Structure 1
């Protein structure tokens, strides 16, 4: 079989970059998609390609996918990692925040999947992995829009897994807990600025829900994604794998 082409959205940094690097190490050709062109692609021009697109814009996604497939051929593995988290008390959350969370986290997952699925069906083989969150498995206060969007991603994962079960395409979700990324570090900095807590005290609030008492390493999420993308996970579909130190059981 020729080299497998994977598309990783939000692949320029954090969890997405870790996933892209892991898939390249596993021998795949990888297109990373983000709102801006990530420097990551310069690390291995033979196996990494970058395209700029907004996952919430259907025309932008179609253009980006066409460019990616012109470079590396049909997308056989899709990792829907692009996401955004904003917080607000429910009664202070406006409609614009609600819509942003749905657009990026849920609609973006749908649009990117629709763009690449025809090629997977034509080949009779494909892997779709949606990077959701433990926020898609449980509730968290002050991020109701984000939780709603991520619960939607898991519902979409389950429905599409059933629809595609007999067609050679698996659909799964990976649900990281708080992970050592720029997003979490920025959140910790905001807590420090607003409350006057020390950085260690702010971090302790983030890790207290993890029985292991730590942030998840992006490489640990990438390992889980890589396994689901492989041929050995062919009997696994419709699942939501929590990578959270035991926070969700």
Structure 2
């Protein structure tokens, strides 16, 4: 499962319709897709679902509350769906990437640099310094993990959420 991005913004000015629309796109999109494939997976004796969520589910930021709340809900959904699917050998996992070098990231960097009055390359370098590995994720960093999680080599993994953030998460999770 992977859906479009939720927009950020100022908590006090984001209208309810934006919250509802963004949650419908992401949260309900994942629910609908899982509901569509679950019966077939049960009938065939198993399957794999990997939800691509987002690091904001565990690392909330004031400017991205709608996304963080939806992502936290999807982490919960992943665990609950994994418990539901386990008796049918349906393994459900999640990957929560932080910033990833995609065209969307490039667009966000240009927009945020403009808002901060800085050149985009300077703004981007400052953003990447915040990561212990001094870079953001490459798409293949995320894709390789997803491929592993849906492979036979991950046959004992279900109900987990792996954050792909180059060590940026400051919390410790069980």
Q: Same fold (TM over 0.5)?
A: yes
SS in 1 for 2:96: strand
TM-score (norm. length: structure 1): 0.66
CA contact (8 A) 2:98 2:163 kept: yes
CA contact (8 A) 2:4 2:25 kept: yes
Matches within 5 A, 1:66-77: none
Task: Give the deviation of 1:81 after TM superposition.
Answer: 1.1
TM-score (norm. length: structure 2): 0.93
More strand, by proportion: 1
CA contact (8 A) 1:178 1:206 kept: no
Task: Give the deviation of 1:220 after TM superposition.
Answer: 0.9
Matched residues in 1 for 2:101 and 2:75: separation? 22
Structure 2: where are the runs of 5+ without partners?
Answer: none
CA RMSD of aligned residues (A): 1.2
- Judged with a 3 Å threshold, the aligned counterparts in structure 2 of structure 1 residues 92 and 208 are, in CA distance, closer, same or farther, namely farther
Structure 1: where are the runs of 5+ without partners?
Answer: 1-79
* 1:93 equivalenced with 2:35 (yes/no): no
Which residue is 1:184 aligned to? 105
Matched residues in 1 for 2:71 and 2:56: separation? 6
Tell me how many residue pairs correspond in the alignment.
170
Greater RCO (Cα-Cα under 8 Å, separation 6 or more):
2
Matched residues in 1 for 2:88 and 2:12: separation? 44
Question: Which one of the candidate residues 120, 133, 136 is aligned to 1:199?
Answer: 120
- Judged with a 3 Å threshold, the aligned counterparts in structure 2 of structure 1 residues 91 and 205 are, in CA distance, closer, same or farther, namely farther
- Judged with a 3 Å threshold, the aligned counterparts in structure 2 of structure 1 residues 148 and 205 are, in CA distance, closer, same or farther, namely farther
More helix, by proportion: 2
